[in-house]
Chains A and B, each alone.
Chain A
């Protein structure tokens, strides 16, 4: 194992983490402000990817597609919030789980209705094609670096939004005391819709970015959703900072586990079996990490004020 390979794997872990952060930030924001658990967040990710692919195919531009994905996911989020979600704020988590589970079924089948059963085509824009050299003589895809950069920008933007704007002030107020903010004369219904649409747009953005290097297909949001849950549970539900650190931890752990565990097993058993057993162990690794963290800190690494 060379230093160059280790560096490349570390970047891969970072990139996966950044992508998970985009998903987890929306989830945790929605939970922090409204106390809502949203299983359909992965569906919004899917909406973003489909909107980007369809628009890019129509206009020929990935960038227009990316804008479309933000608009489509935010709009889908706003509509869902207005029609369904706002009836769920004062319900218990059980009803929320169930209603958003029902939404997943509807979104998945609905997308198939609109776009058919075959995966859609979405390619990386020409500007971000290819790979650049890294120190150590290896190369790294420009697009993955772009994802890392985009994620960092979003994280910074969220920080500015929450710490420096009126909307951010209301979000912080909503996180610490939900009744109080209503009493202050803030239009809480509009605030909730805006926050939900913002979270949805983040998910849609992630879907579009990732859709260009993955398969744009029905059900693509579900594996990511579960990883994002692991992220926010580790980080502390409701905490954006926790989501960022949790996402990076999960991204790096998962990537390094997939890379190193089979090699570790190969010290003990023949290569073919080492691959299988190592692979099996790697797929469970992040859940084990999560269990250990929760056993020590039941409310995650950075517990939010309430939850």
Chain B
């Protein structure tokens, strides 16, 4: 017997698949691109949701991981294209799965470094320090000349995946869609696991967790690193979607947008990020078509959601969350 939330989730997942299939059949490939964007942003936000929704760690610097994933894709592809070795004589590549692994590992390592320092703090300090670390990475990317700096880095041909024509919008969408489902599945597994329980318990009552012999710092650090990895993977996909990566992927507006996606959908919810991403991209697209002042109205809508529609879209559709 499906719960109401699971029913809503199922409808969301099915819609995200059905719309691009229909758009492709009707010869409207742009809507496939839009759906791909939704899937990737949802994956990035699902990553953040691990830290933010489960662990209560309000990271205002996840754009750093998103951008690092993007740069992993861009830099590997550039070296793969030119044939120049990357480091230690290792070549670049245009194989997506290699890029994904590199993106996940690098984002995880940077997440470990940032998390190790940031998690010594909490509350507002944590928000600020993650923001500041992301700014540091941002300024580094802007001023480091080797990979385009502020101008960013173009990927001339989308990277390859065995047996798939990645340049076709629908094929690339399907890759992203499958990865999103895997990401959401992973989130569900973690949430139900002992580790996930400990992470959530550390959010709710740090002292109690410590007294039963779990060290909240290590639990949180692990959660933060996994979260960074998933967001990094989304960044690699995003770079391939745009065939371009630039420091704006690392900007603090991007960090803000990722948080916005989660809140719009419903904090800590399994499908919250997907609902939020779909809503956000739809707003951006529809408002952008209506008025030059769309950012004003976007702000207004966000404000109304935060003030009056707590629980986000899923809160409205599926009722209150099961867990606090």
Residues of A at the B interface (CB closer than 8 Å) are 31, 37, 84, 87, 93-95, 97-99, 101-106, 108-110, 112-113, 226, 229-230, 232-233, 237, 276, 279-280, 283-284, 287-288, 290-291, 294-295, 298-300, 307
Contact = CB atoms under 8 A, between A and B. Distances in A.
Interface in B69-126: 117-118, 120-121, 123-125
Interface of B: 52, 58, 60, 117-118, 120-121, 123-125, 127-129, 131-133, 135-136, 139-140, 142-145, 252, 256, 259-260, 263, 267, 293, 295-296, 298-300, 302-303, 306-307, 310
A101 B58 contact: no
A295 B117 contact: yes
A177 to B, nearest CB: 18
Contacts of A290: 129, 132
A280 B259 contact: no
B302 A101 contact: yes
Nearest to A238: B124
B129 A103 contact: no
A93 B136 contact: no
Contacts of A98: 256, 259-260, 263, 302, 306
Contacts of B133: 287, 291
A74 B160 CA distance: 56
Contacts of A95: 263, 306, 310
A94 B52 contact: yes
Given A31-B124, A280-B140, A288-B136, A109 B129 contact: no
Contacts of B60: 97
A105 B296 contact: yes
Given A94-B52, A105-B299, A109-B293, A229 B128 contact: yes
B58 A97 contact: yes
- Per DSSP, chain B at the interface is helix
A279 B299 contact: no
A37 B125 contact: no
B303 A103 contact: yes
Contact of B293 (A113, A232, A284, A288): A113
A116 B132 CA distance: 31
Contacts of A280: 139-140, 143-144
Contacts of B131: 226, 229
Contact of A113 (B128, B296, B298): B296
Given A276-B143, A280-B140, A307 B124 contact: yes
Nearest to A113: B293
A112 B299 CA distance: 14
The 5 closest A-B pairs by CB, nearest first: A105-B299, A280-B143, A109-B296, A102-B302, A106-B299
Given A98-B263, A108-B295, A290-B129, 10 more contacts: A94-B58, A99-B307, A101-B260, A102-B306, A103-B303, A106-B296, A113-B296, A226-B135, A233-B125, A287-B136
B128 A284 contact: no
A110 B145 CA distance: 36
A254 to B, nearest CB: 12
B124 A93 contact: yes
- Per DSSP, chain A at the interface is helix
Contacts of B307: 84, 87, 99
A105 B298 contact: yes
Contacts of A84: 303, 307
Contact of A229 (B121, B132, B145): B132
A290 B121 CA distance: 12
A205 to B, nearest CB: 23
Contact of B125 (A102, A110, A300): A300
Nearest to A37: B124
Given A226-B135, A288-B136, A97 B127 contact: yes
B118 to A, nearest CB: 8
Nearest to B301: A102
> Taking each of A94, A104, A110, A112, which has the highest tally of chain B beta carbons within 10 Å of its own beta carbon?
A94
> Taking each of A102, A103, A295, which has the highest tally of chain B beta carbons within 10 Å of its own beta carbon?
A102
12 contacts: A94-B267, A95-B263, A99-B302, A105-B298, A106-B300, A108-B295, A237-B124, A279-B143, A280-B144, A283-B139, A287-B139, A294-B129
Contacts of A31: 124
> Taking each of A105, A230, A284, A295, which has the highest tally of chain B beta carbons within 10 Å of its own beta carbon?
A105
A291 B302 contact: no
A95 B304 CA distance: 11
A230 B302 CA distance: 26
A280 B259 CA distance: 28
A106 B256 CA distance: 15
A307 B307 CA distance: 23
B299 A109 contact: yes
A112 B292 CA distance: 11
A275 to B, nearest CB: 10
Nearest to B119: A298
A289 to B, nearest CB: 10
B123 A233 contact: no
Given A93-B58, A276-B143, A298-B120, A284 B303 contact: no
Given A102-B300, A102-B302, A284-B139, A276 B145 contact: yes
Contact of B143 (A99, A113, A283): A283
Given A106-B299, A284-B136, A307 B123 contact: yes
B299 A103 contact: yes
Contacts of A299: 121, 125
Contacts of B140: 280, 283-284
